[in-house]
Amino acid sequence: MKKVNKLIKIKKSTLLFFCQLVSILMVTGSFSTSSSAQDTSFIPKHSAIFFPYPMYKEKWRSSIGFTLMTTPEDITEEVRLRIPCGDYRLLRRINNHFILDSRLWFQVLQNHISTGIRYSKPLSNSLYFSAGDDIGFWFGFLKLGGFNSKASGWVNYSNVSLGYKTKKDLLITFKAQVSVNLHYQSVNGEDKFSSDKRYYNGETFTLALEQPFYNKKHLTLAFSAINNYFYWQTWALFYKTNRKVFYPQITVGFIL
Per the structure, the complete domain to which residue 107 belongs is given by 41-255
Query: Are residues 160 and 76 located together in one domain of the fold?
Result: yes
Query: Are residues 50 and 32 located together in one domain of the fold?
Result: no
Residues 211 and 170 sit within 8 Å (Cβ to Cβ): yes
Query: Are residues 3 and 110 located together in one domain of the fold?
Result: no
The CATH number linked to 76 is: 2.40.128
**What total number of domains does the chain contain?**
2
Query: Are residues 182 and 224 located together in one domain of the fold?
Result: yes
Query: Are residues 31 and 158 located together in one domain of the fold?
Result: no
Query: Are residues 72 and 104 located together in one domain of the fold?
Result: yes
Query: Are residues 1 and 51 located together in one domain of the fold?
Result: no
Quick: pLDDT tens for 28-54.
343 443 444 445 445 555 689 999 988
Question: Which residues of the chain, if any, have pLDDT below 50?
Answer: 1-38, 40-41
Query: Are residues 178 and 218 located together in one domain of the fold?
Result: yes
Quick: pLDDT tens for 166-191.
888 899 999 999 999 999 998 877 78
Quick: pLDDT tens for 141-159.
887 666 678 999 999 999 9
